[in-house]
Amino acid sequence: VRSDLGFLTRRQKRRRKSHSTAMASPNLAFVPASLPPAAVEVEALQRFVSHSQRLLVMTGAGISTESGIPDYRSEGVGLYARTDRRPIQHAEFVRSASARQRYWARNFVGWTQFSSHQPNAAHLALRNWEKLGKLHWLVTQNVDALHTKAGSQRMTELHGCTHRVLCLGCGEQTPRSELQKHFEALNPTWRAEAHGMAPDGDVFLTDEQVRNFRVPACSRCGGILKPDVTFFGDTVSREKVDFVHRRLAEADSMLVAGSSLQVYSGYRFALAAHEKKLPIVIINIGPTRSDHFASMKVNSRCGELLPLIVPR
């Protein structure tokens, strides 16, 4: 069996080498086991991207696992497989002061580590595709800001971003880093040790640990502060959904990278692309909700495969 590299063009080899030297080794602690992409898969994806003129890319948690951020559903290594923890529900956060205290205490402890994660080779590859005019629009279901850190600009954060905080009363937005300072001022002697991290930066603390944690209100109106993200049980705004549908209407193909598409807010766009008869390629380790109508499905790491593709 010949090595996959034997099938790559010289330009692709140079590109792969430049990425490998520029990037730190990927963190595979939360990445399911997978085989390297086969040469025929690399070549097929190269043709797909080359033939696309207005490519819409949708990314999910699987693109960030190589940056050390766990996802929810990956077999064996996702949050659901490793623990009985489930993400907070929107209604619970809004209704319960104790739920908000628990959420913010855990988020406070995990923020320094979560906010320090950096883009991996997959994020940088998509940034390069955009710079070269190949990527028409990027839609990410992630809230980790890694695409922004990578430099992507033609992008919609479908579920918002944990790096912003929203007041549910007056709507004022503030940077999450500023809220961290307020937490520290209100809780100068509070200490807690984290045990594990969830995909949104939440960490595992006991009820006893969070009991005395103080949560600030909005300095402008006294309202409830919430991460500017769509929690489970909430819905993406109609304006944002319509905006993405308009970008999809302009697209001639769709690539899904690192998403099982189990959440309808993302799946709806794959479904719409299928109804428009657009070619759809999926890169994801494990099954997805759209495998049956994808033009091609590759069970490989996004950070291993995407940098091999040379947009042209």
78: annotated binding-site residue?
Answer: yes
Tens-place pLDDT, residues 243-264: 999 999 999 999 999 999 999 9
Q: Establish if 144 belongs to a structural domain.
A: yes
Q: Establish if 110 belongs to a structural domain.
A: yes
Split into its structural domains, the chain has a count of 1
Q: What are the beta bridge partners of residue 175?
A: 164
Distance in angstroms (rounded) separating the CA atoms of residues 169 and 189: 29
60: annotated binding-site residue?
Answer: yes
Residue stretches of the chain with pLDDT short of 70: 1-24, 71-86, 194-202
**What's the pLDDT at 201?**
63
Q: Establish if 90 belongs to a structural domain.
A: yes
The pLDDT mean for the chain works out to 87
Distance in angstroms (rounded) separating the CA atoms of residues 154 and 241: 16
What domain range includes position 122? Answer: 39-64+86-308
Answer for the pair 142, 63: CB distance below 8 angstroms, yes or no: yes
Q: Establish if 49 belongs to a structural domain.
A: yes
221: annotated binding-site residue?
Answer: yes
Q: What is the CATH number of the domain that holds 292?
A: 3.40.50.1220
Instruction: Verify whether residue 159 is a known catalytic residue.
Output: yes
12: annotated binding-site residue?
Answer: no
19, 123, 136, 159: the active-site residue? 159
**What's the pLDDT at 196?**
63
Q: Establish if 239 belongs to a structural domain.
A: yes
CA 300 vs. chain centroid, Å, equals 17
124: annotated binding-site residue?
Answer: no
Tens-place pLDDT, residues 8-43: 344 444 444 444 334 567 878 778 888 999 999 999
Q: Establish if 217 belongs to a structural domain.
A: yes
Torsion of CA 287, 290, 294, 297, to 10 degrees: -20
Mapping DSSP to helix (H, G, I), strand (E, B) and coil, where does residue 120 land? Answer: coil
260: annotated binding-site residue?
Answer: yes
Percent of the chain's residues with pLDDT above 90: 72
Distance in angstroms (rounded) separating the CA atoms of residues 131 and 143: 22
Q: Establish if 60 belongs to a structural domain.
A: yes
Q: Establish if 95 belongs to a structural domain.
A: yes
- Name the pTM for this structure: 0.87
68: annotated binding-site residue?
Answer: yes
